Amino acid sequence: MNRKIKILSVSGGIRPTSSNALLVKEIQKWAPENVEISIYQGLATLPAFDDGPASETVNDWIRQLTEADGVLICSPEYAFGVPGALKNAIEWTVRSGELVNKPLALITAASSGDKAHAAWLQIFSAISSDIPPGGALLIPFIKTKFNEKGEVSDVAIKEAILKTVQALIQCIEQKASAADE
Ligand SMILES: Cc1cc2nc3c(=O)[nH]c(=O)nc-3n(C[C@H](O)[C@H](O)[C@H](O)COP(=O)(O)O)c2cc1C
């Protein structure tokens, strides 16, 4: 690719103290030279999916997805399932298909998170997103992985996150070179 790879990252947690919001900020800082990671900021303002005409807010979400080469989802588990705000955002894409064949990495970071992780894998498989091998990571006990400055202090977890992001980048590069042939 003769330009920077664009990754759109989305935190499924919109609480001011969300560990997943912290995580996407950390991952943004770790981006390699040839990769630009932006953070989607509109989750809290997206209207509930209603099958009506898309508002400007919805169009902006769709536009940011379309312009991205790949998507990185960092999601908590709430009430034994996927968080509603992020699920709603994904529902807006089902009709228009922006996530179909889209390179996507999934990090589920929660107290345990196994139920949300399994549910997200099923959802992204159903809508045919392209999660590459190594592109999905479950991080339990997420709150214990940060230091007081909000940095990921667990070395093994940082390494696992970097590998997951690298799997996404590789998937994007492979798609781009296949398209060039
Ligand atoms: C309303 C609420 C419900 C939660 N339910 C679960 C749950 O079912 N399973 C789990 O592993 N963690 C659960 N948690 C803990 C979150 O996973 C934890 O807050 C973690 O830091 C990730 O969420 P965050 O990005 O909002 O910080 C819940 C947290 C909140 C605020």
Question: From atom 12 of ligand 1, which residue's Cα is the shortest distance away?
Answer: 111
Query: What pLDDT sits at residue 2?
Result: 85
Look at residues 25, 21, 34 and name the one whose alpha carbon lies nearest to residue 172: 34
User: In the numeric block, which tokens belong to residue 138?
Assistant: 């479950």
Report which ligand 1 atom has the smallest distance to the Cα of 17.
27
pLDDT tens-place values along the chain, 181 residues long: 789 999 999 999 999 999 999 999 999 999 999 999 999 999 999 999 998 888 999 999 999 999 999 999 999 999 999 999 999 999 999 989 999 999 999 999 999 999 999 999 999 999 999 999 999 999 999 999 999 999 999 999 999 999 999 999 999 999 998 988 7
Q: How many residues does the chain have?
A: 181
User: In the numeric block, which tokens belong to residue 171?
Assistant: 């998937």
Residue 49 CA to residue 92 CA, distance in Å, equals: 6
Question: From atom 23 of ligand 1, which residue's Cα is the shortest distance away?
Answer: 76
For ligand 1, whether the C-beta of 19 sits within 6 Å is yes
Record: fold of 5-180: Rossmann fold (3.40.50)
DSSP state of 37: E
- Distances in Å between the Cα of 7 and the Cα atoms of 28, 79, 164, 169 are 9, 29, 13, 9
Question: From atom 14 of ligand 1, which residue's Cα is the shortest distance away?
Answer: 78
34-49 residue pLDDT tens: 999 999 999 999 999 9
- Which residue in the block uniquely carries the two structure tokens 């089902």? 94
